[in-house]
Structure 1
Amino acid sequence: MKERQSRLKAIKTLIKNNTIESQDDLLALLLKEGYDVTQATLSRDLKLLKVGKVPDGQNGYKYALPGEDENGESEAIYVQDFLRGYVSIDFSGNTVVIKTFPGHANTVCNAIDNLNMDEVLGTVAGDNCMFACLREGVTGEQFMEKLKKHIPGIED
């Protein structure tokens, strides 16, 4: 069990200090650190650590550890939820309409709410569409600019 705790600590350190795009990359780094593990073991470790893939800002993805916020949830999880569920984004005035895959609107709404964007006054979800009401004076373009800071590579 001691070896597992040591390996988990090494995985966290490697993810924090490197841009890792795949399990193969992480396996190679672990091997350099003296940990000879299988892909299946690494998969279980990543699941246990709640490691997720987030956009790297350059049209790719990298592994990220959950960053604890006040709810113990990770922004990376919300980014994944958003990316997994949204189809398109459009806006008119201070209303943003985000179309989602069926059944994903609530999850996308929750992601927007938990990204703590000051621009958003509130959200409402249906089944395959959600609305976000922006604060007075905030434009759809400003909302998209801020959203792209949280979710690099998102398409308009």
Structure 2
Amino acid sequence: MKNLRLEKIKQIITTHEVNTQNELLTILQKEGFNVTQATVSRDINRLMLMKIPTGTGRYRYACRTDSSHSYSIKGHLRIFQDSVLSMDFSENIIVMHTLPGSAEAVAFFIDYIKFPEILGTLAGDNTLLIIIKSNIITTTVLKKLQTLLKMSIHKTCL
């Protein structure tokens, strides 16, 4: 049943503009799947869905391999710059706050540029953690991220 549900979720987000977990939950229930919000949340993580801009100021769920959205570096940089609200660190962890629903997209961008000092990211709805290999280089990574926030889209060379 789980595999069938996961396939249905992929179909739904391809054919509908799904902006929230509750919207996905409602559609699944209408399709006859008896699921809870917690199950939908786990399924979103299993499928590694992310939120992408719709072009109308909103975001929708999409598969990372969704060919209807071009994953250009400039587009990702724009999402990063438009979404990040603040950054701070402790030891080897950078905590980044974003606009609601944007943390996954920002984490994807950070993973995409592959800083060698970063072990990985962990995103929630509006907060993400960036785990650095050593607390000695955390401030260096923080400065790189702050530079990306100020970088001109037209001069992007990552």
The normalised TM-score by structure 1 is 0.51
Q: Structure 1 residues 57 and 36 mapped into 2: Cα distance closer, same or farther (>3 Å)?
A: same
- Counterpart in 1 of 2:40? 42
Q: Structure 1 residues 14 and 101 mapped into 2: Cα distance closer, same or farther (>3 Å)?
A: same
Q: Structure 1 residues 60 and 6 mapped into 2: Cα distance closer, same or farther (>3 Å)?
A: same
User: 5+ residue gaps in structure 2?
Assistant: 89-93, 97-108, 115-140
- Counterpart in 1 of 2:110? 107
| Equivalent of residue 75 in structure 1, options 71, 76, 79 | 71
Alpha-carbon offset, residue 14 of structure 1 = 0.3
Alpha-carbon offset, residue 56 of structure 1 = 0.7
How many matched pairs?
104
- The percentage of aligned residue pairs carrying the same residue is 28
- Counterpart in 2 of 1:33? 31
Measured against aligned partners, the alpha-carbon deviations of 1:43-62 in whole angstroms (never above 9, x if no partner) come to 00000000111111001111
Alpha-carbon offset, residue 110 of structure 1 = 1.5
Bigger CA radius of gyration:
1
CA RMSD of aligned residues (A): 4.2
Q: Structure 1 residues 56 and 49 mapped into 2: Cα distance closer, same or farther (>3 Å)?
A: same
| Equivalent of residue 62 in structure 2, options 43, 61, 64 | 64
- Counterpart in 2 of 1:129? 147
Q: Which runs of 4+ in 1 moved over 2 A?
A: 78-84, 100-104, 106-109, 130-134
| 2:49 aligned partner, one-letter code | V
